[in-house]
Amino acid sequence: MPSKPRTSTEETQDDAHALPMGKYFASSDKAVRDKAVDSLKQFLVARGDDLLDDKELTKLWKGLFFCFWHSDKPLVQQALATELAELLLKIPSAPASLHFLKGFWDMIVREWTKIDVHRIDKFYMLIRRFVNAAFRLQLRENWEDDCCEAYEYILTRPNGPLDPDDPKHITSLAYHLADIYLEELEKALKASEVPSRDPYAFANMILMSSPHIFPQSTCPVPILDVIQPFLDFAARTPVKASVPRLQDAVFQPLTTALTQATSDEPPTKRPRLSAGSSPPDLSTVIARSTLEHSRHYPPKTSISTSALDSKPSEPTEIRKAVLKAILDVGGQSETREYNRKKLFAFWKAATAEGQTDQTDWDAS
């Protein structure tokens, strides 16, 4: 007896439960690659909390690497980069999203030295999209401790992009991450305040149909936890040039923005970060940051039990806390001597510049 023909619904359901084959992602035919990415969306959403094993994850991201490698036209690159990053928000489970993100960073670190000068810019863009999506994922989860801790581990674990103990660390990757980190946090926070606001105009054209992409959230940001990966990296990296580089990209812009938030000086008279450059706009980061909740620097008095219950803190207090964190990490026994000197010098200069009274903070 002949078998009953399969319906299109049955075929779609089967596709949703089957991991797309890597050869389709690596196809030179854009239509084939697009179909594979669409199948991947269905597959990841259908799995829910069921995580891919490490072998499957590596194979998947190997295929996605070549999928992105073959995207040549700028608009195609932008659309694909956004589409891949938004998968973090389409996956309904935070652990599954973070596992997918871990696979992304494994791929980036593994393949980084193979990316030629003609393709490096588009991979910089892909990283930017994933950093932004990772912040929006943490916003979706209201900066829940387990989610934030897992994200920090992804960045700083052995062979991670901010592994502070790797003597062969890829500095260009860490520097790019530092350059875009606060900027993408600002974009993510602004996008979260209004559901229809999109940090990337092109993404708005193709992805607004998803209810998971731009979650509305005004939950305060545990800012000390957010910058902790760079504090650890600055303390223990064996590359001497990395410490001033991180200070210029992360610590200085943040402390400058905090100073400006309480300054009466006109913007034109405020000091610039360096000759020919001006500090980035971090107004939303400053307005939404809190000291009431932190895994690394718990408040002396227990004000709240979660980030969701916290309230934004005053910029002056945040600046004190940021400088105190830099002072603390500089004083740790595992901090390299050269790095310690640089961190202490930054703390001293920033304290003098902002006339920050550190007597309220225990410097031990």
* Tokens of residue 92, six digits: 């309904």
pLDDT of residue 170: 84
Residues in the chain: 364
* Tokens of residue 272, six digits: 């610039």
Residues of the chain with pLDDT under 50: 1-15, 196-197, 201-214, 268-276, 356-364
- Do 233 and 326 touch, CB atoms closer than 8 A? no
For 304-361, write each residue's pLDDT tens digit.
Answer: 556 677 899 999 999 999 999 999 999 999 999 999 999 999 999 999 876 544 444 4
pTM: 0.84
In 3D space, the residue among 164, 180, 165 whose CA is nearest the CA of residue 123 turns out to be 180
Q: Look at residue 174 and give its three-state secondary structure.
A: helix
Cα–Cα separations (whole angstroms), residue 159 to 87, 173, 304: 23, 12, 35
| Unique residue bearing structure tokens 């992805």 | 207
Q: Look at residue 305 and give its three-state secondary structure.
A: coil
* Residue 81 to residue 64: CA distance in whole angstroms: 10
- Do 315 and 262 touch, CB atoms closer than 8 A? yes
3-state secondary structure 181-233: HHHHHHHHHHHHHCCCCCCCHHHHHHHCCCCCCCCCCCCCEEHHHHHHHHHHH
Residue 276 region by backbone torsions, left for phi larger than 0, else alpha for psi between -120 and 50, else beta: left
pLDDT of residue 14: 46
pLDDT of residue 29: 81
Runs of H (alpha helix) within 19-141: 22-25, 30-47, 54-69, 74-90, 94-111, 120-140
CA atoms within 13 A on the CB side of 223: 32
DSSP at 277: B
pLDDT of residue 276: 47
pLDDT of residue 283: 95
- Do 104 and 132 touch, CB atoms closer than 8 A? no
In 3D space, the residue among 53, 115, 27, 47 whose CA is nearest the CA of residue 87 turns out to be 47
